Amino acid sequence: MEFRKLSDLELKDKKVLVRLDLNVPLDNGKITDDTRIQATIPTLKYLLTHTKKIAMMSHLGRPDGEVMPEFSLEPIGERLAELLDLEVVFVKDYTTEPAEHVLNQLGKNQIILYENLRFHAGETKNDPQFARQLAQGFDCYVNDAFGTLHRAHASVVAAAEFFPANKRAAGLLVEREIEVLSGLQKKPSAPFTVIMGGSKVSDKISVLLNLMQSANYLLIGGAMAYTFLKYQGVEVGDSRVELDKLDMVAAIYKNAEARKVEILLPEDHVAAEKFSKDAVAVELNTKTIPKGLMGLDIGRKTAKRYADIIALSKTVLWNGPMGVFEFDQFARGSLRIAEAMADCNGFTVIGGGDSVAAANKAKVADRIDHISTGGGASLEFLEGTMLPGIKVLLK
């Protein structure tokens, strides 16, 4: 995939519009996790060494086209100012005042941040008029918001199209994401192990079928494992099962057989009578789950078996938790996988919010080779889909 990178742009004295993903969690206006902000810094520092006329834009939350103060980017601007050691000029109205006016008044140690893009209905509608207002007055466009590339929104697609093809490029974060996730689909070092969790088979079917072209092992956990076990005729009690998706599981097994991919399912479980924070965990040393109980995490034996395979792997991708990670009594399986990933000598990749949270909770995130910022974008990319935000950056 040939796409334009920062190094392809002539940036000297140019006015640059950069799309970032600053969609971070806030609690009463305070940032609780600045990971996404930190991830933008390399691209911003690169731009600042080549030009001084830069405007940053991002969304935050889902204000649905209305101005909602709780979704203001002002607190993010303050954090960016600290990280960049610059004054962030916060611009609330960027659709009526020409960009040139603000840019021409910029001082040497200043950078612009536009208010939340989603305060404007035109953003999510990919509205050309709103996109023109964003792009007007700039020479170059850079997108470093990998987590938004699957969305055909104005700041991602329509705004980019107002720039000549040789004046738009991917930022360093997007470049790295494409490089890593493309590598998993082409020729990853073998054995290549894919660990897939989460609740729905239907959410992961396309990813699984695509990755089977290069995978050696497929380790299944989370609620989706019970649909796989049901397909095999195993009693799973009151566990969540997608009965209407058994044909999808059949397709996965057929594909795995043709490509000699080994699929592993849970052999034991941590179960409970109900899905709740105060549910009493019951350890089951059997593959079957009796009626009256539902599986909510993989068991110790399964976790060890999965960890042993991870240890032997040269490449590992993990997407989706092994259990109900938000409840401590059902988090052990996910934590064990995170620890095994950290101990693995191969190339390790984690994608998906809960999987990343597990790595953070296990205090091993810094030992994972690549943690994807993508979420839904990562999944769609791993399906082999051409994302709208990447398409506009192709050479």
The Cα 140–Cα 15 span in angstroms is 6
The Cα 86–Cα 78 span in angstroms is 10
Closest CA to 100 of 132, 136, 74, 64: 136
The Cα 330–Cα 321 span in angstroms is 10
Active site residues: 36, 200, 353, 376
CA angle 341, 370, 84 (to 5 degrees): 135
Beta bridge partners of 168: 141
Cβ–Cβ under 8 Å, residues 197 and 322: yes
Find tokens 């397709």 and name the residue: 251
The Cα 249–Cα 227 span in angstroms is 8
Token pair for 208 = 């699984």
Closest CA to 208 of 198, 221, 194: 194
Cβ–Cβ under 8 Å, residues 375 and 138: no
The Cα 9–Cα 49 span in angstroms is 13
The Cα 256–Cα 186 span in angstroms is 17
Helix (H) or strand (E) holding 137: none
